[in-house]
Structure 1
């Protein structure tokens, strides 16, 4: 991470491969608008790793294992392992604990024991320096690494382990590999080497234009950021529950630390990709960088995740495919991108297609509890190919023909224990037995539409007859989702149409002519590196 003058340029490594301004296309990456299923770690990760949606997995919290409560579903790394790949997990891939059977889904998914950095043991330790010279269990936590327990941090140790693995592959005649590296940050607490804070001077940090609770936001939709309130520095602010705003001065400190934590991880990603090049594997390895959920930074007065807002459900989806996204014909041009709608359940069939493995059965049946291998997503190969073709042809115009044939909507959801935010039960993280309401959200190319309905937690089904609240945001005029216009009479026809699409479900928003697509891979790779956040 170089010293620079630009105040908001804080992802050099990702910028080189995917993002804004004039980037170095030697990484040959492709960027797309991607959504995940539920803004919580375990449900999100288990969803994209099995290519099944939360209502199929019956997992909306941290406290059940899908193989025991839903079905013995094959995972993404398991499928590669069964097809001759050496699979290795480093850091946070599956959510640890009950939701992955206390074993990161071993022995099914991985060829060797998953690696967890030893210093992760100190995640909740009181190591954050405070103004009075003591140490606390804070949200904002810039640290001197040499003074930390173990003289390191978890993500630094994960990088070391990944580097060792790649170095071993360079001289070995091993099988192809599937390496999943899960960096923890910028997860709470925002603990990172203090040097990265210097990249983000406090005077350059600004709050969102609307950093208060929207007047038309239903109470059931509100996320009271209970996880932040548990941190000692935030608790000391005595912010009223559930709607009290965080003081502006401290909000800027939190945003500053979030940016610094992102810069920290960006630096590690850059080092990992550099190592992949150094061992001579970059040009034969598919690389995918994703996150498991977004994070609110004062938008709508909210923080953290736990909602259906765009800022919580939209994630990075950055893909490098040797021989495709790094074509010599556009190496010196900007990154590839697409406005097509993509979901993280699409990862499984996409990587299978790109590597030429036997095709995953294209669509799970409605009741797939006894079907070990199938997908509730589709390969995004056609979208990538279209982006490459447009770049080679020198056209920046959107391919509306493809978009018309592609998904017409993508879906997310979030559970609540009641209609009003509460601490007990925790309305941000209700357990299955506490869920009474589910917010189902549909994102189209223009709108986000959400219905909060009663939920039958025994049968895992919504009761569409009892709609508690609706939300509608028009991204053409309100990309930050500040104005809920669901109750405006002029929008009644739009609400009716979107409600029909939402209730019809995700299957009816898929591209009809691609469901019978005969996947045949044109690409070859020696390895695969899945970079998760």
Structure 2
């Protein structure tokens, strides 16, 4: 998957860690905690808990209010596969030798133990839902199963439509668009990838081994990564009249061409192609910039709602008091 980016390349990793839900230290000593590891895709610090007054992220903000919030942690790479491999192996890209999507660290650099693999070795039942490792060559076409996971990783079936003609344009026809707020009921299967991932994660929580074995459940959301294929109702949270342009939209003077990403992935979308933007420096028309920012924030709120569903499931299943929750993103 092409992961060209809009905006800054090296951004703060969002990393919220709930240290405990136990009522006393004795519980923490006598009982091994379950782990729910949640990772978003291309999430900046566009959250209320990081001081963004525009963002509407009540579920993540509530999690942050009772968590350790990290303010000075940085992405190792501004591309999904190497960033995730770096984080999940605790090694820098110059050690994993992964800067793109075309190599598997166990083959090309070293047989490193991953975070879920460590938990598995300690007797945890480990499960992967959605985009945790980057799928494909970068994780050996198996999401690093069986090393990291007790069962094969799950990927939402509706993700196959992310780059298909499923976005209704102003002409009433379906397109492959960047801006793709949809009526979910009209989508293939009547669903979206992150909705499916939460459904599967809740199912796994309900059917996990119930013999006292602790679990490590990783849930990877696809949003707010482009395209912005999200439920259309989330746009109403961010009226265009309230949107602002980026504070510093200009290309820096004397910028070396190698340091600039011409957002090739965006240019493949039909609604962007209609703008006929010059390559490689643009600029994008200001009205379209505002719509991009509106859709990004809406995608964040949509993803936040899915986090809320996961946390509610922990409570409903009586798991909240003995589950550590980690929330992070691969990069902004």
Q: Distance in 2 between matches of 1:33 and 1:156?
A: 31
Counterparts in 2 of 1:131 and 1:7: CA distance versus 1, 3 Å: farther
Q: Distance in 2 between matches of 1:101 and 1:210?
A: 40
Could you tell me how far 1:214 is from its partner in structure 2?
A: 1.9
Is the contact made by 1:7 and 1:201 (CA closer than 8 Å) also made in structure 2? no
Q: Distance in 1 between matches of 2:262 and 2:161?
A: 26
Q: Distance in 1 between matches of 2:326 and 2:156?
A: 22
Aligned to 2:29: none
Q: Distance in 2 between matches of 1:201 and 1:292?
A: 28
Q: Distance in 2 between matches of 1:155 and 1:201?
A: 24
Is the contact made by 2:55 and 2:301 (CA closer than 8 Å) also made in structure 1? no
SS of 1:61's partner is coil
Pairs within 5 Å for 1:261-340: 261-294=299-332
Normalised to the residue count of structure 1, the TM-score between the two structures is: 0.51
SS of 2:324's partner is strand
Could you tell me how far 1:128 is from its partner in structure 2?
A: 0.5
Pairs within 5 Å for 1:85-100: 85-100=124-139
Q: Does 1:248 align with 2:279?
A: no
**Out of 272, 277, 288, which is 1:239 matched to?**
277
Could you tell me how far 1:29 is from its partner in structure 2?
A: 4.5
Is the contact made by 1:88 and 1:114 (CA closer than 8 Å) also made in structure 2? yes
SS of 1:181's partner is strand
Q: Does 1:149 align with 2:188?
A: yes
Could you tell me how far 1:190 is from its partner in structure 2?
A: 0.8
Could you tell me how far 1:274 is from its partner in structure 2?
A: 1.3
Pairs within 5 Å for 1:112-191: 112-169=151-208, 172-191=210-229
Higher relative contact order (CA 8 A, sep 6+): 2
Could you tell me how far 1:173 is from its partner in structure 2?
A: 2.2
Is the contact made by 1:185 and 1:262 (CA closer than 8 Å) also made in structure 2? yes
Is the contact made by 2:55 and 2:297 (CA closer than 8 Å) also made in structure 1? no
Could you tell me how far 1:124 is from its partner in structure 2?
A: 1.2
Could you tell me how far 1:7 is from its partner in structure 2?
A: 8.0
SS of 1:32's partner is coil
Pairs within 5 Å for 1:77-88: 77-88=116-127
Is the contact made by 1:17 and 1:29 (CA closer than 8 Å) also made in structure 2? no
Is the contact made by 1:96 and 1:103 (CA closer than 8 Å) also made in structure 2? yes
Counterparts in 2 of 1:225 and 1:288: CA distance versus 1, 3 Å: same
**Out of 141, 148, 157, which is 1:102 matched to?**
141
Q: Does 1:213 align with 2:251?
A: yes
SS of 1:34's partner is coil
Pairs within 5 Å for 1:3-18: 8-18=54-64
Is the contact made by 1:86 and 1:178 (CA closer than 8 Å) also made in structure 2? yes
Could you tell me how far 1:73 is from its partner in structure 2?
A: 1.3
Is the contact made by 1:127 and 1:148 (CA closer than 8 Å) also made in structure 2? yes
Aligned to 1:51: 90
Counterparts in 2 of 1:199 and 1:11: CA distance versus 1, 3 Å: same
Deviations 1:365-401, CA, capped at 9 Å, x for gaps: xxxxxxxxxxxxxxxxxxxxxxxxxxxxxxxxxxxxx
Q: Distance in 2 between matches of 1:229 and 1:247?
A: 14
Counterparts in 2 of 1:186 and 1:9: CA distance versus 1, 3 Å: closer
Q: Does 1:39 align with 2:39?
A: no
The structure having more radius of gyration, on CA atoms, is 1
Aligned to 1:445: none
Aligned to 1:195: 233
Pairs within 5 Å for 1:341-420: none
- Aligned Cα RMSD in Å? 1.6
Structure 1 unaligned blocks of 5 or more: 1-5, 19-24, 295-533
Q: Distance in 2 between matches of 1:79 and 1:144?
A: 41
Q: Distance in 1 between matches of 2:212 and 2:191?
A: 31
SS of 1:185's partner is coil
Is the contact made by 2:131 and 2:219 (CA closer than 8 Å) also made in structure 1? yes
Q: Distance in 1 between matches of 2:189 and 2:111?
A: 38
Structure 2 unaligned blocks of 5 or more: 1-51
Deviations 1:438-494, CA, capped at 9 Å, x for gaps: xxxxxxxxxxxxxxxxxxxxxxxxxxxxxxxxxxxxxxxxxxxxxxxxxxxxxxxxx
The alignment of Structure 1 onto Structure 2 pairs a total of residues equal to 281
SS of 1:35's partner is coil
